[in-house]
């Protein structure tokens, strides 16, 4: 339509009236769908404060929900204002590309706080109340742990599942089932949570680190075979951030060298390699249900396996050496070692409730991660972690990328993280170099290890653990976004990408700060 002869004032009055009419109609329709009290499920407006982020330890602080959630009244006011604003032909807000970073006096690219985690609904409350009222809180006289074990085995496609008190307990039970002990060696990645290391040294076995693949942040499977010795008892790959390690190479090495693979899948719920769930490829897989995990009961874990004999060995180890079979005297004792690593009925009931929305949450993370990656791939200096070709599904427990300061005017990673967090996108630098931690280095002088392996071997071990240059570089450049961010909307992914673009455009000024 041409401008000549138009009556702008008449059209404004007309559009105002139509806009108000449409706005009121939308309000009437939508108000019927909105309860007086807010839901606490996935669709709610519960958010984490901007400064909250799950740290590199995997621990987190879960704050209370916002005190001003949506109600019918607040929704009515908001939609009325929106309808009126649209009707009068209000100009859209200036594009965020033109705004300055918050650290330079601008406004947030991501003004709301990220989705709250964990998600709870009435289903979770009913599950916990049922256990409470049953007075059967221990797996020995309850039904929930057994129900969960059966459900989780079915979910991942394994024959057997042993539920444990934590992901660390799952790894401990699996290595206990292997009868790992002094003189044995276990191959593991350096880019992992300290628990992967701890479960090895708890058995007085020797942890052998293999360097990190800088593109994927996973263990470099091409370097694993050269680390195998006659004392290697297990290979313990970690599916870091919920993406599978290079299982084709690792499984081939394990088969040829007759070394069992124990998959640390603590972060990898529902992840798949070539259409099959991780945790089911090796001898066993270990999962965690800690507070930050995609499936959570605060703490909890599970060992899954297709080997029934191995499952029974893990069960005995996790239950004070007592098996599932009973004699007249009670549970059958066997083996030589055991502990109490059992899951409670409360945890199992909560997990069963949380599992009802695991698939939908996983699908949303998958879609958002793919969309976010498509945008970040266009930015200089931002390289999303590679996902191996065999991966048919990642759990996206973390969204990781490498940060190149040279493309951001030399701005340090810590300054980038500060700027990103101030834009409303909580982020962290992830793991520090685990083998360089004094806690790990102290093993070289630990009296039991000196007695078992000798001073010469432990000195050589210490030198080897410090020769992991690629892992050091990954730790220096990594940036983590946590899984709850990926439960947001597609618009939220746009805002995350725009926050990074904005920081890059103004990186010269930010670097000076």
Q: What is the DSSP letter of 407?
A: G
CA distances in angstroms from 31 to 39, 73, 106, 234, listed in the order given: 14, 9, 35, 58
Q: What is the DSSP letter of 337?
A: -
Q: CA 70 to CA 34: how far, in whole Å?
A: 9
CA distances in angstroms from 317 to 69, 167, 173, 423, listed in the order given: 47, 15, 6, 48
Catalytic residue of the set 108, 293, 328, 512: 293
Q: Is 38 exposed, middle or buried (0-12, 13-18, 19+ CB in 10 A)?
A: middle
Using alpha carbons, select from 61, 65, 63, 60 the residue that is nearest to residue 40: 65
Active-site residue 293, yes or no? yes
Q: CA 300 to CA 305: how far, in whole Å?
A: 17
Q: CA 265 to CA 287: how far, in whole Å?
A: 5
Torsional sign, CA 115, 121, 123, 128: positive
CB 3 within 8 A of CB 80: no
Using alpha carbons, select from 263, 475, 486 the residue that is nearest to residue 395: 486
The count of other CB atoms within 10 Å of the CB of residue 3 is 6
Q: Backbone phi, then psi, for 310, in 5-degree steps?
A: -65, -40
Torsional sign, CA 279, 285, 290, 296: positive
Name the residues annotated as catalytic: 293
């Amino acid at each position: 339509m041409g401008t000549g002869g138009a009556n702008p004032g008449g059209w404004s009055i007309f559009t105002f009236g139509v806009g108000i009419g449409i706005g009121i109609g939308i309000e009437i329709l939508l108000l019927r769908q909105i309860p007086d009290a807010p839901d606490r499920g996935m669709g709610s407006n519960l958010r984490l404060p901007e400064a909250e982020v799950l740290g590199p330890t995997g621990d987190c602080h879960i704050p209370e929900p916002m005190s001003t959630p949506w109600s019918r009244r607040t929704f009515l006011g908001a939609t009325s204002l929106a309808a009126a604003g649209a009707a009068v032909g209000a100009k859209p807000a200036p594009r965020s590309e033109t705004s300055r970073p918050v650290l330079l006096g601008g406004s947030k690219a991501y003004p709301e706080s990220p989705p709250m985690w964990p998600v709870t609904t009435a289903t979770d409350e009913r599950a916990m109340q049922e256990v409470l009222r049953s007075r059967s809180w221990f797996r020995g006289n309850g039904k929930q742990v057994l129900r969960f074990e059966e459900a989780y085995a079915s979910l991942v496609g394994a024959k057997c599942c042993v539920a444990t008190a934590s992901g660390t307990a799952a790894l401990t039970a699996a290595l206990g089932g292997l009868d790992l002990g002094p003189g044995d060696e276990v191959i593991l990645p350096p880019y992992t949570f300290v628990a992967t290391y701890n479960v090895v040294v708890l058995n007085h076995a020797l942890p052998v680190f293999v360097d990190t693949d800088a593109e994927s942040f996973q263990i470099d499977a091409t370097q694993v075979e050269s680390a195998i010795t006659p004392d290697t008892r297990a290979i313990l790959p970690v599916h870091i951030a919920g993406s599978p390690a290079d299982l084709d190479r690792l499984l081939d090495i394990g088969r040829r060298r007759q070394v069992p693979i124990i998959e640390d899948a603590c972060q990898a719920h529902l992840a798949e390699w070539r259409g099959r769930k991780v945790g089911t490829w090796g001898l066993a897989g270990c999962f965690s249900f800690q507070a930050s995990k995609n499936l959570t009961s605060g703490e909890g874990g599970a060992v899954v396996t297709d080997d029934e004999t191995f499952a029974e060995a893990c069960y005995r180890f996790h239950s004070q050496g007592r098996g599932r079979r009973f004699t007249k005297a009670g549970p059958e004792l066997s083996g030589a070692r055991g502990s109490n690593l059992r899951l409670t009925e409360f945890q199992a009931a909560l997990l069963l409730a949380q599992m009802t929305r695991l698939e939908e949450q996983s699908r949303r993370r998958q879609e958002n991660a793919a969309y976010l990656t498509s945008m970040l791939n266009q930015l200089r200096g931002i390289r999303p972690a590679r996902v191996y070709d065999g991966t048919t599904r990642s759990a996206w427990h973390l969204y990781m990328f490498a940060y190149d300061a040279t493309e951001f005017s030399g701005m340090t990673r810590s300054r980038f993280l500060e700027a990103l967090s101030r834009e409303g996108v909580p982020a962290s630098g992830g793991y520090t170099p685990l083998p360089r931690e004094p806690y790990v280095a102290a093993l070289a002088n630990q009296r039991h290890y000196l007695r078992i392996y000798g001073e010469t071997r432990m000195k050589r071990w210490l030198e080897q653990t410090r020769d992991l240059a690629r892992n050091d570089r990954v730790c220096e450049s990594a940036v983590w976004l946590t899984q709850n961010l990926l439960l947001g909307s597609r618009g939220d992914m746009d805002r995350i990408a725009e926050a990074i673009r904005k920081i890059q455009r103004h990186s010269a000024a930010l670097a000076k700060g």
